[in-house]
Every structure is written in C-alpha cells, then in structure tokens.
Structure 1
Amino acid sequence: MLTAEFSGGIAGRVLLAAVSAAGLSYACNRLSRSRAGGGAVVFVAPGLEESFKTGAALLVGAPVLLTHVVFGGLEALYDLGLGAGRAQPHAPTAATGAGPGPTGRHAGAAVAGLVGHALFGALTVAVAAAWGWWPLGVGVAYLAHVAWNALVMGRASRRVGSDGP
C-alpha cells in the first residue's frame, strides 16, 4: 500500500524530475544532433541525459534511481508512440519478408531504453554511494551510456548498410 508521503510527495517529485529531464534532453538532443550529426547521439546525448536525470532528481529531492527509471519509461513511451511513423531502414518487404518489422524494432528499443536507463541510474547511485560524490556517479554512467549508444548505433548502421536480414 502506498503511503501518503509516497503517493503525494515522492511520486510528484520523481515525476517532476523525470519529465523535466526528458523535456530538456529531448530539446537539447535535437539541437545537438542538428549541429553535430549522428555523433551527438553517441557522445553528447548521454552526457546531457545523465546530467539532467541526476541533477533534476537532486534539485527537487527525488530518489535518483527512481527518476532514472521513470525517465526510461518516458523514453519507452516515446519509442512506442512515435516509432510507427518513422522510416524503417530494413523493414520487411513482400518480396523478401526480411527484417523484424517496425513494431518489433520499436518494442525492442522501448524495452532497451527502460532497462538501460534503470541500469545507468543504478550505476550512478552505486558509484556516488561508494565515493560520496554525485558527479563521479554521473561520469561513470555517462561512460557506460556512451559505450551502449556506440554499440547500438554501430549495429544499426551495419543493418542499414546490409542487403540481407
């Protein structure tokens, strides 16, 4: 059962922090990608997102890990809700039947986003707890996020460039 404090206080602060971080991340990621191209997804977006998530949580007194998880949920909803209208680089065709199709790809991205942001949050909290310094936790989570985005972007570019499934 939810306590009155959680249902009104903590939940509200978590939502405020996560929605604020998501909005700032969305705006700044779009701007950085328009100026720096795809490299911004790998190197700039993780720094913005990790800083905004943790910073917003600390600013409003929300639990950092829970803020990261809710942010991941918001990203998952974005992937599911807006994904259907995006162009598919390797969608199945009537001739080949190749590729997982748009629905599977977006569902996979949604799950990966939710789990990834939860893990980045856990890493942030664990490092900050061990060393007593939030910026170090954010920095370590940033490096993990960069590695993840580089892996995902590399796989996506190979899939787009291939002729097969």
Structure 2
Amino acid sequence: MFIFSGIIAAAFAYLCNKVILKRFGSNSLVAFVPFIEEFSKSIAAVLMSTHIVGTHFVFGCIEGIYDIVTSSKKIGNLAALASVVSHSFFGLITYITFGKSDSILIAVLVAWVFHSAWNWYITKYL
C-alpha cells in the first residue's frame, strides 16, 4: 500500500509544485515546495494507513526518475540519488516525530524545516 501512497503523493505534489513554481518562481523551492511535498507524502501515508518511511522512499524514487529524465546524465544520476536518500531521510524524521508527538501536523512541520534547509543549501551552494 505504501507504493500506491507514494505514487499518489508524487502526483499530487507534482501538480501543486507546477502551479507554485509558475506563480512564484524558483524562490518557492525553499519554502512552498518542501511543505507541499512533506504534506502530501505524510498525509497520503496516514490516510491510507501505511508506512510513512516507505511512502517517502517511493516518492523519492519517483522524483529520482524525474531527475534522470529531465537532467543531463551526470546531474540527473546524482540528483536521483539525492532524491531517494533525502526523501527517505525526511520520511524517517516524520516517522520519529509522529511517533513521539502523536501529531501528523507537528511531524510534517518538523520534516518541512529539514526539507527547506536542504533545498536552501542545494539551491545556494550547488
């Protein structure tokens, strides 16, 4: 079931991100996009009663495939690996925070902060 929730989350986030990026440009990569992605992954997992980390992992794999398809071979492969690893990490953060707080909202917010920091670093230094 986590495969399906990861696919649903990726499709939802892709559509939302497309609108957000068109409206606000690349500045939205640091704040809006991470929130949309963390929200979609975590809510999909909870609503479908499936594993949070698994959902985040599948999302990262889908984003990684997108990176490979839309980027140069060298950048695409590195970006794909970073997508899988980072989204799995954000899933672990969400899972741990949700377990300790029993609040998916708090878990999403904590993962959002980490994801935003990651995107800030990537867009500023790479």
Runs of 4+ in 1 over 2 A off after TM superposition: none
Judge conservation of contact 2:70–2:76 (CA < 8 Å) in 1: no
Q: CA deviation at 1:28?
A: 0.6
Identity of counterpart residues, as a percentage? 30
Residues matched between the structures, number = 126
Q: CA deviation at 1:107?
A: 0.8
Deviations for 1:73-112, whole angstroms, at most 9, x for unmatched residues?
Answer: 11111111222xxxxxxxxxxxxxxxxxx32211110000
Give the gaps of 5 or more residues in structure 2.
Answer: none
Give the number of the structure whose residues are more often helix, by fraction.
2
TM-score by length of 1: 0.74
Confirm or deny that 1:62 pairs with 2:50: yes
Q: RMSD of the TM alignment (CA)? A: 0.9
Give the gaps of 5 or more residues in structure 1.
Answer: 1-12, 84-101, 157-165
Confirm or deny that 1:29 pairs with 2:17: yes
Q: CA deviation at 1:14?
A: 1.2
Q: CA deviation at 1:132?
A: 1.6
Confirm or deny that 1:119 pairs with 2:89: yes
Q: CA deviation at 1:67?
A: 0.4
Specify the alignment match of 1:53 in structure 2: 41
Among 24, 29, 38, the alignment partner of 1:41 is 29
TM-score by length of 2: 0.96
Inter-partner Cα distance in structure 2 for 1:75 and 1:64: 17
